[in-house]
Amino acid sequence: MQIYVHNNELYVNGDNPYHIEVGSQILEINNVTAPDLLKAVPKAADGNIKVEDVDLPFYIPFILKNHPQDFTLKYKTLTGENKTAKLSGIQYPRFYYEAKHAILPIDLISESYGIYGYKIDADTYYLSIKSFSYDESFFYERLKKYFQEIKDLSSKKLIIDIRNNSGGAISNVPLLYSFIAKDKSFNNEYQYATKVVDIKYTDYLVDPQTNRYYSDKDIADQNNFMRQRFDKAEKGDYYFGNSRLDNTYIKNYPRDGLFFDGKVIVLTNNHTFSAATYFASLFKSEKRGEIVGKETGSCSNFTTAAWFLTYRLPNTKAVISIPRTEIFFNNNDKENVSNCKGVIPDHTISSNDFLTSLKAHKDPELEYSLTLFFKK
């Protein structure tokens, strides 16, 4: 059975063979209370960010003692009545099937397409972007297609959904923002930084494109590349990118010819990461509109990006990527990195509004955004 976490409460998030109504609040599982279940699940992201968007059903067998196959569920119905149900465990294929048939998230099309847009009503257009990991020319062509449609429809309001966006190419962030920029140009300034210029651990290092192990020459070339482009700061532990890196991006970014100048709302959640957080941060610093949803999962002023080291572990042969650099953006604040916060939304969804939308099989953040437009 699928469960959705909102405001630290657990709700039934889909039809199930036990006829437990969608929106029922789960109180206990096998005598473990909902708060205790949530405490047992890892809920930390970058810095000091606390998240609640967790896949609780996945963790439950690991949280409960002895990995039970049967579960006793105590829940509160929509009418406030407390009930108990006996549930049986399921195999992963069935779990995956039920996850894809849950009510939330509503927008599964954009999860598959990556970029997807459509008209909501006569004045409002919805554009969902689930990744920035695209070739820049491809990303531009996709954006141009949708913003041309927005122009043809004479839309006055736009909702940009970057929930569950894991990030990608940092250069695609200002590209997207150029389609909604208010001014003819905007500040796209960020700074690369690293604490380790030379590769310290060279064993098992592989080229992610060819899967071959790095030679001594490959490693020397990598080190030379970083030494030429990063200079040690006078204070602190960081090396910062010099003018060679400054020439690789546009600081004073021009607005696109198909720009949209109407009202804009951005949707975020705890799974808005990396470059997607940079977009939310840029959107907020430029005061372009309001953000609805939850705090982003990445810090509001920096992210790990640009260059990575890839290793093939000797025993498992698993391949892992480790970031070499960070990017500080907007205010370039480099203090208190370990205690950073994500981009904080202007509006969060109350439990009542959430439950109303869930019962109606509608997207809570999207529904709230539509009402927010009317309040302006």
Name the helix (H) or strand (E) containing 275: helix 274-285
- Which pLDDT tens digit goes with each residue over 4-37? 999 999 999 999 999 999 999 999 999 999 999 9
Arithmetic mean of pLDDT, 317-333: 83
Q: What is the pTM of this model?
A: 0.90
Q: What average pLDDT score do residues 115-128 get? A: 97
Q: What pLDDT was estimated at residue 372?
A: 94
Please state the rounded mean pLDDT for residues 220-249. Answer: 89
pLDDT band of residue 65 (cuts 50, 70, 90) is confident
What does the pLDDT look like over 334-356, one tens digit per residue?
Answer: 656 667 889 999 999 999 999 99
Strand partners, 311: 205, 320
Single out the residue of 358, 369, 348 nearest to residue 102, CA to CA: 358
Q: Which two tokens stand for residue 165?
A: 């966006």
CB atoms within 10 A of CB 55: 14
| pLDDT for 239 | 93
Alpha-carbon distance 201 to 220, whole Å?
A: 13
pLDDT for 61 equals 81
